[in-house]
Structure 1
Amino acid sequence: MSTRVRTWPPMSVTVRRLIGVLVAMFALGVGAVLFSSHRKQQLDTAHARLQNAVDAELPRVTENLEELGAELARRAAQGANLDAIGALLMEVTTQSDVNALSNTLAHFEQEPWFTPYARVGPHAFFMGSVPLFSTEPRLVPLFTPLAEHASGASVASAVVALEGDLWLLGAGRSVRTNPQQQPAVLALAQKLTAAQLEPIANKLGVAVLLVPNGKPADAIGAGPTAQLEALRQRVGSKAAPAVPCCARSDLKAGVELYVHRHGTAELRAAQAEISSAAFPIFAVAGLLAFAGVLLAFLPRRAAASDELLRETAAQLKQSQEQLQRLSQRLQVEPAVPPSDTTRFGVDDALGSTQASAQLSRYETVAPLGEGGMAKVSVAVVRGAEGFRRLFVLKRLRAELAGNAEVVSQFIDEARLGASMVHSNIVPVFDFGRDAEGYYLAQEYILGRDVDALIEASKQQRGRPLETELVMTIALETAKALAYAHSRTNDAGQRVGLVHRDVSPNNLMVTARGEVKLLDFGIVKSDDRSSRTQAGVVKGNLFFMSPEQARALPVDLRSDLFSLGMVLVSALTGEPLYSGNDMYELITRAGAGPTAADLQRVTAQCGVLAPVILKALSVDPAGRYPDAEAFAQALLATGARVATASELQALMETLFGAQLAQDRQRFAVPA
């Protein structure tokens, strides 16, 4: 019995050439796609790094401007403590003495010992916060709040706008007081010039622009000419630049601060990385294309076609494996907060391989606390040449690592936090999984939350927070909410982001007087992969909107209600709601403020009461449409807005010893 060996018919030249051309086109196409993807990733990473670097310059510039004001305030304090002023002060006991003192102060202008202070610029004298004499009456309304603050805190300073001019103000008080315990206060003013900004710009290597009252024509600036011109073009422009370069903040009501930082180094590094990746990508793709060309056009005998197919198939498989390995190596996690297009997938996280079980690069410095979902600590990351940086590290509890829903929520918190880069929001810098489990790393902030601030003020000063301090907290929080509420997806559509837990515990005041919103762990967004189950209520019941307490759909107006409740707590010292148990509290939150609650707001919240009452409307339609409108309504009350330096002074007064202990506790040796 003979055995028949089956053979394939010989491949035609046309078919062989068609297959070869297709293979070559496929190889070159894959190479081009890989290179394009890698190029976009590197540029996105460079842009994110550059924007972070620009944003980081804002507080540095602000700090240097505050130092200019502090220097002027110290000089004013020296003038207020002149012997002649102290001698006059001790004689003031009646109103007629005050009037006489006013006339005497007017004559000081001609005294040689007062000349160094008179030459500074316009100035005014106060008895406590009561104006006595001024060389520039139009500045008195701006001097008065500084004098009031300096009466209790020794010195005060500010940058203000008046009729198209920018002024640097400083006030200092005398150590001696009159029999009524009132100090003398000298307030000095200097018109701010580009020459004063130049040392700051040169020191930090940036361009600085100050804009008064939203009028670019009256702006003053300093720094490299090209960067300064870019800033002037950026002012008032709604279009974002192609390459991040600029950052903006409100230095004070009516004064905008713009900073420009050149990103040449970051972009050159990205281009170098792109160029270095081009050769291996196209080398492998070229080899694969060459194999296709050989298949198409190399003359072969028909009897050798099977062998040619086997050889080509082997080459194809080997080249495809090389391309796949190269693609995986190129997908490097950025060292900066992910951009809006970054996505953390729960399936990827749960399916992590042994590579994710690497040792942690975060060294724990001290624990901060733990909750039902995560443990929180202060940790340090070390790098070359003694580099080190502190982070707040939030680790998912080990027993929850296998819970897909919890992991998805944790990933969402990291992804949303990383996508938001704003001076009033605590950012997420890193997310991953190591030998200890899932973690996210946030900016470390030295400070205290607003709840602690309210309690410390009541205990140490016998009162809650003043209106001007509450105004600052409210306006800075409104900026954070306005930014978060306006977030969009890749298609440019708003994702409907709602924080859902705006409360004093989630508002941080730093040791430098900055206000930051934190904890996006229960945020509501159309772009989340996890969803809150129907009927589940999440958030702080003391500050929750009625619709959120009822587990109904919420939008950005829910956060504005919560902010209104925070303002009530800060102004009165107590939350608006109270309850004996969880059921009573959630019932109160679901019903909304009662008539008695609203009367309390009217009686105790002063000039801000009408604004707060609108924010606390039970019907969302009765509230402000967005955070910007809320902020404008607050400003329209005319209430004074405290400066960052005033908040900083209060933090030092209330928590100075504790903050010093924190600095020592979290100090990391090189």
Structure 2
Amino acid sequence: MRPVHRRILGFLVTACVLAGATVASLRLDARGQKGARARSVHAAGVALTGAREALEGRLRAVEGRAATGASLSPVRALAAEHVDTFTLQDAFATETWWQPFRDEFSFHSLIEGHRRFDFTPDGVSRSVELSALLAASEGRPLASELLLVGGVPYLAAVAQVQVPPSAVPERSLLVLARPLGAAELEAIAREFRSTLLLVDADGAELTRAGEPASKKLAAPTLDGTPLTDVRGRWSMVRAEVGPGLFLWAQADTRAEAAQVLSTTRALMVPVWLTALLASGIALWLALRPQRERATAELLAQTTQRLAAAEAQLERLSKSMPTVQSAAEAPAPAPRARPEPSLEAPVPFGRYELLRPLGEGGMARVYLALARSAGGFERLFVIKRLHEPLARQPEAVAQFMDEARLGASLVHSNVVPVYDFGEVDGEYYLASEYILGRDLDTVVRRSFERDGDPLEPATVFFVAQEVLKALGYAHTRQDTQGRPLGIVHRDVSPMNILASGRGEVKLLDFGIAKSAHRSTHTRAGLVKGNIHFMAPEQARGLEVDGRADLFSLGMTLFWCLTGELLYTGQTEFDQLIQAAEGPSEEHWERIAQLPAPCAAILQRALQPHPADRFWSAEEFARALPAVRPEDTSGLERTMRRLFGEELRAESAYRSALAAVSAASDAPLGHAHTG
């Protein structure tokens, strides 16, 4: 080959290599931005779901108050006697039995058939459109909506006033409403680390809370299309929360976007190093005179190295997580608003479904009421298997195993399963309904309110109670006296429930291991929460009761510090840490805990099962003895952290019972306020 031809070829190879590196860098950057936008939209959807559920919780509290007011004997008497407007005005404005409602609500309305009486304690006339609220109350004793009143969002609820049909031929209703305060919305925004924006149907802003992720909050679209920054630094998604009312949530994802950008730049480094090496060799060969054979050999070596580098780039590119962008799929935003039929009691076999409580990958959970002869009523939690899974034999068998195992565990510290069945092809199980919070929520609220974790004495009391449940489950035997080999496999703060009365319950044996299960986990398949699982469980190995004791130790560390022991940047990093067990850095963090916490965890968190506590009983003996005052410490903590919320939920339950009982009771035997 002539020197001039060799130089031209060298320059062409250099240009092609550098152009390829540029194209690869642009593709990596676009891929990173696409992933960052998808993560950002998902984060906004999570924040919106949480904010909607918080608003629904406040509406439930207003429902409870409306039901209480409707059950007052004077209110029932006023409705039954069909008194004139002057008498109603005087009663609502001056009577002491109505004082708590005057102080709490700025709008009151008593509706008797087509007659409507409105009352405002401050004397300011308010035109409130109640058609949507009244429509939602058809066939129901209670209903609530977020209404727009004079440009202000109001929390409104309607309750049926029970009067004899002979007194008033058409039903009587009591409506109570109060403004949704800016402080309330601000608290919700802080809780879910987002910016919240309430707008009307025309897109006009009504109120906002939280600091926006960008200097200027993006203007919401009328069609509700999710908004996202081109580099995924923030996103906004929308949901309808009331008639003509829409809630936008903006998530600040600058940290996540920076992490994706850092990963993208790290992938670009080998691309450009390879390109520079290849182009340098090509130029050197082009400019250095030598024999054609030597030139061909060096060019062949360069081609081989370039091909190997491109293969490595392809592997690195495939290792990046691929997620749908907002342009390819709708925002994974929040769980859809429950259809109107679920807002009313829905018959489901021998139960009435009152309202949804939550949803997981396998089932949806409802608060349900069971009725029987003699006026017996009891609240349950109904877990319904998702419809697609009901057609999968393996999923149905796993669900049956959960019900069978839960029903066999009868212990004061275990949430029991009372019923299992099938209704119109839908499988369900019914378990005890407990008024309380999971331990994860308790610890987080303690930090929000006090800036500190739970008191060690309270943590040790919870541990003793959980160990009673684990000791019972681990030592269970069948009718022939053979060990059942039950292992919970998911002991974590999310699966430990603290009731308002200070009781401790272990729940969710859905992935528990047992010798009598009809379905079994395949070898190497990891189930459970990686933040709390034992090393042998993270490796997909066989586990026994000592894995649960390790998980309880990790739970105690969380309760005592409010921090997770494993702090990897990605879920894969955390899984690797979980498989290896605590490192020297982790042991140093544990050693900083006060006595006797450090010594207990140093035994419970040993990587090898043989070095840990051998049984729940041995673990319990190592804990400080529970003093009489410690048994009531958790109840005091729950009252201090969640007192108002638990009272509102209790009032809601009582209101359901009161309305149900009053439907058949004479007027004179109603409960008074």
TM-score (norm 2): 0.47
- Greater length-normalized contact order (CA 8 Å, ≥ 6 residues apart): 2
Normalised by the size of structure 1, how large is the TM-score?
0.47
- The structure in which a higher percent of residues are helix is 1
